Amino acid sequence: MSVQEVEPRRYGIPLSALNASQIDAIRRIPRHEDSKPPAIEARRPVDIFLSEDYWAKERDAIFRAKPVAIAPSAVLPEPGSVMAHDGYGIPLLITRDRHGEARLFLNACTHKGAMLVEGCEAHKWSTVTCPYHAWTFGLDGRLIGVPREETYARFEKKSRPLTQLPCKESGGIIWGILDPGARADFSILSDQIASDFEHLGIPHAHAYGYRRFELDANWKLVMEPFLEGYHVQRLHINSIGPMGMDMFADIIPVADQFGPHLRQTSGRGNYKPEVLDDPKINIKSYITHAYNLFPNTVVVTSPYYTSVMMMMPVSAGKTLVDYHMLTESAPDNPKAEELYSRSFTIIQDVFGNEDFKASETCHRGLSTGAIPDVIYCGMEEAIPRFYEGIEAFVEPMPIAAE
Ligand code: FES
Ligand SMILES: [Fe+2]
């Protein structure tokens, strides 16, 4: 085959690459003109966003007790690698041993507690050495090297391994339970969502871009715009608008719940049921998948990349967001590089300057006491559903009578 005859690389995935449940959800999407959002009555008191006491209950019952997403597997793809993670207020160390197994430890040396690894880049290391006195640990957490070991009386290295936390990799996401004493109970994770992510290529994706956002807003206010399409044609009118507002339709998605996790499948502006008859289309150019993984993670597909975001609360009014952009593979030609880098800039702009900013202004506005509760409409029906998932573990706050 001559150079000219080489088929251009195709990006994206066909409908047939998805699993039966995803295909069924896509086939349930009505024509845009037939989408009829219901009228609903749902409210939540503003104190679920403002109260430090409520946040402390969420922290104890959910963020320190249940599995939380730490990072996409793609950030640590290679066996024999190590990475620090500090987003949850606990210094963590993620390792992938030489057999490929991911593990989670406290990033604290068992000599005097020094931080073993700083920063957030992945390192290709077969061991981890503490910068302070150079105790060395294996990627399985065993203490394997102690300088001047003979000067410790009655000391056995095996008595001081790194402190391990329960960890599980599922659907291309590394999950952990942030309590070293907790049972490794990951039963809340969804096998269906793990399968969905495998069919979307997430476990084998390439980690193209990463950015940490620091927001002055409650973490749930940061989650909210990813649970509803009500704002899209309105808040994003100046950013997405010029690209053709018909990219996104003013409809409610097909919502499927898997335990406390939610999958929202929606047709983009260009979607008509007939497009599904063409086996060659990139299904992600017509369909958006948005997953809200309990408690604090959002995964959204775009035609040529996938966004993975963890909204990590620091306090009632502060949230760190880890934004990861995953692509099918590393860009292997200038056109792909151009497409990915432009997309990375645009998405940071849309999420950062619009969605996240709206969360911050809402937090500030709610803090004024302007309203006693927030009210949700049928275009936002996934939001109260998401709160019901939280309320299964944290007692709901009463709504003041009108
Ligand atoms: S604190 Fe790590 S070796 Fe001393
Ligand atoms: Fe948005």
All structural domains of the chain with their residue ranges: 3-60+204-391, 67-176
Number of other CB atoms surrounding residue 216 within 10 Å: 14
**How much is the pLDDT for 10?**
59
| Fold that domain 67-176 belongs to in CATH | Rieske Iron-sulfur Protein (2.102.10)
**Ligand 1 midpoint to CA 120 (Å):** 20
Strand, coil or helix: 288: strand
Question: From CA 324, how far away is CA 68, in angstroms rounded?
Answer: 16
Residue ranges for the chain with pLDDT beneath 50: 1-8
Instruction: Give the model confidence (pLDDT) of 271-312 as tens digits.
Output: 999 999 999 899 999 999 999 999 999 999 999 999 999 999
Taken in order 43, 48, 49, 50, is the CA torsion positive or negative?
Answer: positive
**Ligand 1 midpoint to CA 129 (Å):** 9
**How much is the pLDDT for 7?**
43
**How much is the pLDDT for 244?**
60
Question: From CA 73, how far away is CA 301, in angstroms rounded?
Answer: 17
Using the atom order of ligand 1, give the atom closest to the CA of residue 113: 1
CB–CB of 25/287 below 8 Å? no
* Sheet-wide strand order for 92-96: 81-85, 92-96, 102-106, 164-165
**Ligand 2 midpoint to CA 336 (Å):** 25
**Ligand 1, atom 4, residue with closest C-alpha:** 133
Q: Do domains 3-60+204-391 and 67-176 have the same CATH topology?
A: no
217 Cβ below 6 A of ligand 1: no
* Sheet-wide strand order for 173-176: 68-72, 173-176, 167-170
Strand, coil or helix: 385: helix
Instruction: Give the model confidence (pLDDT) of 222-246 as tens digits.
Output: 999 999 999 988 998 888 777 665 6
Look up residue 356 and give its DSSP letter: I
133 Cβ below 6 A of ligand 1: yes
Out of 132, 144, 151, mutate this one to test ligand 1's pocket (max ligand atoms within 8 Å of CB): namely 132
CB–CB of 194/169 below 8 Å? no
Single pTM value for the model: 0.95
* CATH 3.90.380.10 given to domain 3-60+204-391: yes
Residue with tokens 């390792």: 95
**Ligand 1 midpoint to CA 176 (Å):** 25
**How much is the pLDDT for 251?**
85
**Ligand 1, atom 1, residue with closest C-alpha:** 112
Using the atom order of ligand 1, give the atom closest to the CA of residue 109: 2
Question: From CA 364, how far away is CA 359, in angstroms rounded?
Answer: 9
